[in-house]
Chains A and B, each alone.
Chain A
Amino acid sequence: MRDGVPSTSAQSALRRLRRRPEAWLLAVILIVGTIFSLTARDFLSLPNIIDLLETYSVQAIMAMGLFVVLVSGGIDISFAATASVAQYCAALLASQLGLPAPLVILAGLAVGGILGCLNALLIHYVRITSIIATIAMMSVSFSLLMYFSGGKSIYTLPDWWTDRIVFWQTETESGDLVRITLPIVAMVVVTLFTWAWMTRSSAGRQLYAMGGNAEAARRIGINIGRLQFVAYGYLGLMAAIAGMLQAHRVGESVPNAMYNTELAVLSAAVLGGASLTGGIGTVPGVLLGIVLLAILQNGLNLLGVSSYFFQIVIGITILASTSLTVISSRRGRRHRILAEAPANG
């Protein structure tokens, strides 16, 4: 209310847009993209973009799961460990016991889902703060994985797992082969599903309500406990999918391959406007966060900038973009949430 009633609808639309973190992020991506496409010749080429999509599909899928947990007002640090455990268990079943594909995939998903639900159990029933519970779970599950696996990788994955699955392919004029492969399709499916689920289903809307104000949500009859299991279980499933896809991409299962990716995924999600306090965030925003990190890394690589330099850029990006979005949306944030429903749509 502080900034008065907008005089025209165009002005108000512009103002609304300015307050959405996604708009800022998109602007930054466009600027960075333009700079790279002018300076790095291959940046905008189809093969490069497809390659980029495939490289970041694993992180994007995990980010979708993390996004759901963030919206519900929690946080999870353990998903990278969950992904490794699910991947390794599935790989063991496939290579040692020679189980058929559907069983192995089901088992992997089950491991991920169970680990996620275990988090929810600790958070909801034992009432441990989510960050602490998931840090503890991460230590336990990852360390046990390293202990029992002895850090040994599994190279003998069956063919159905490691063979590339190509959905569509074409050849560019320059003779490069462009292929839409399974990880990309999986990422698109997961993203679309998460978006539809969070915006069009009652469970999704209840998750937003819970993240916004858990007590208020409880009083209007939302089952908080069930939603905790839904959110963390969903992240567990996504982590398992991401873990198995990662093994599919590299053709082997390395127990600590995904270790330490949790902070990168978390920064992508919050770059995209998912609030750490819950209730705020959108699927397109999170996706844009991933895209920004991806094109930064890729563009700098193509420009021949040392890969050692990359982390500096990430740090500056996180600092600049979070500060900018907070400062730009600080005015009238409450007003926006109350008055304009699409803020989380």
Chain B
Amino acid sequence: MADLTNNLNSGLSELMSRLRSGVPGGHAGLMALLIILVLGFSVFVPNFASVGTLQSFMYQLPLLGLLSLAMMAPLLTGGLNLAIIATTNQSALLMAFIMRTMITPESSAGTTGTVILLALVAGLALCLLIGLATGMLIAYTGVHPILITLGTKSLIDGISIYLTRGMALSGVPEAFARTGAATVIGIPLVFVLLVIVALIVSIVLRRTPFGIACAMIGSNIEATRYSAIDTRRVLVGVYTMSSLICFFAALVMLATFNSASADYAQSYLLVTILAAVLGGVDPFGGFGTVGGLMLALAILQVISSGFNQFGLSNYLTVAIWGGILIFVAMAQTMRPYLAGLLPPRGGSPK
């Protein structure tokens, strides 16, 4: 009996540690890949190992990083949110519109500040609304998230395009743009924002009952429901969270582009899935960590910066991103075979 309890306990703690850490052993490989890439580029690309590269790296990463975080939360529950780019764009458009119409050159610093604050609140409220609506549609109709979010993506994009006639809105106030480009001890503010959001998401997903419930839903939603977890509420929460992360992505987008449009960053949609899967997030749900995602993003961005400085086309970069994903997936498939050749490491079998 004691044995049984012991077994059960160790089994449970192993499960919890797996839920918390994602796929075991995945990060080491990614870390190695990242180091190899950085070393390789430093050797072959002149001026790659410089402060300038690091800074441009930190300016470029946040948008894709935040969007990938927004994609990762639903992926963890076995879902998908195809509407993240649309949500981000609409939120950015709304904020740009408010700032542009309510701030005149004559307005004082005080009014400008108030209007910016108002715009931020409106953008946040919009994301909250979209997230709640998406989450409720998914949780209460039981339709596959791909379909629901395909619909909401179309709808949100449609509204944005209809209202703006496809034009970009510029005219972000000077104060806002300056904050976007500001640095804290040499680190761009947008990068700090990414780090903060990533930390919060990481803590929420790994250390709160809500986060554990998300991973459990991704593994087996029926079993989770029978464990007295209100899966519908958790699902609504996940899509709301995804949408709220989009708000921060919208902030970064406004700050870096100084304008907003319905068709910015559309090509990032599939790249975010690619980054998440590369970072070890199981596309069927259940497993994945923010740390792995960040490593994957760093790899993608290093490849992109390196090839850019090498003078290669952006298209080739995307092709190589796709190739890397296939390569990593192959390595994951091959791992059991390779593990048979290597001496056992004592990790849990996967």
Kindly state whether residue A138 has any CB partner on chain B within 8 Å: yes
Inside 8 A of B319's CB, which chain A residues have their CB? 139-140, 143-144, 147
Interface residues as binary, A320-334 with B (CB distance below 8 Å gives 1, 0 otherwise) = 001100110010000
Within 8 A of B (CB), among A100-136: 122, 126-129, 131-133, 135-136
Are the C-beta atoms of A314 and B322 separated by less than 8 Å?
no
Partner of B274, one of A129, A135, A330: A135
Are the C-beta atoms of A315 and B153 separated by less than 8 Å?
yes
Kindly state whether residue B158 has any CB partner on chain A within 8 Å: yes
Partner of A323, one of B82, B143, B273, B284: B143
Q: What is the minimal beta-carbon distance from A308 to any residue of chain B, in angstroms?
A: 4
Inside 8 A of B273's CB, which chain A residues have their CB? 131-132, 135
Kindly state whether residue B148 has any CB partner on chain A within 8 Å: yes
Q: How large is the interface on A (under 10, 10 to 19, 20 to 34, 35 or more residues)?
A: 35 or more
Kindly state whether residue B248 has any CB partner on chain A within 8 Å: no
Q: Known interface pairs A126-B329, A315-B153, A315-B154. Does A308 touch B161 (Cβ–Cβ under 8 Å)?
A: yes
Q: What is the minimal beta-carbon distance from B171 to any residue of chain A, in angstroms?
A: 21
Inside 8 A of A309's CB, which chain B residues have their CB? 158, 162
Within 8 A of A (CB), among B260-284: 266, 270-271, 273-274, 277, 283-284
Are the C-beta atoms of A136 and B326 separated by less than 8 Å?
yes
Kindly state whether residue B15 has any CB partner on chain A within 8 Å: no
Inside 8 A of A24's CB, which chain B residues have their CB? none
Inside 8 A of B82's CB, which chain A residues have their CB? 263
Q: Known interface pairs A135-B274, A276-B147. Does A319 touch B321 (Cβ–Cβ under 8 Å)?
A: no
Are the C-beta atoms of B166 and A308 separated by less than 8 Å?
yes
Inside 8 A of A266's CB, which chain B residues have their CB? 150
Q: Known interface pairs A276-B144, A308-B162. Does A126 touch B137 (Cβ–Cβ under 8 Å)?
A: no
Inside 8 A of B144's CB, which chain A residues have their CB? 276-277
Kindly state whether residue B226 has any CB partner on chain A within 8 Å: no
Interface residues as binary, A299-323 with B (CB distance below 8 Å gives 1, 0 otherwise) = 0000000101111111111110011
Chain A residues engaging chain B, CB cutoff 8 angstroms = 77, 122, 126-129, 131-133, 135-140, 142-144, 146-147, 260, 263, 266-267, 270, 276-277, 306, 308-319, 322-323, 326-327, 330
Identify 12 new A-B residue pairs, CB closer than 8 A, beyond the known A129-B284, A138-B270, A316-B151: A137-B322, A137-B326, A139-B274, A139-B325, A147-B313, A263-B82, A276-B146, A310-B158, A311-B158, A314-B158, A322-B141, A326-B141
Chain B residues engaging chain A, CB cutoff 8 angstroms = 82, 137, 141-144, 146-148, 150-159, 161-162, 165-166, 266, 270-271, 273-274, 277, 283-284, 313, 315-319, 321-323, 325-326, 329-330, 333
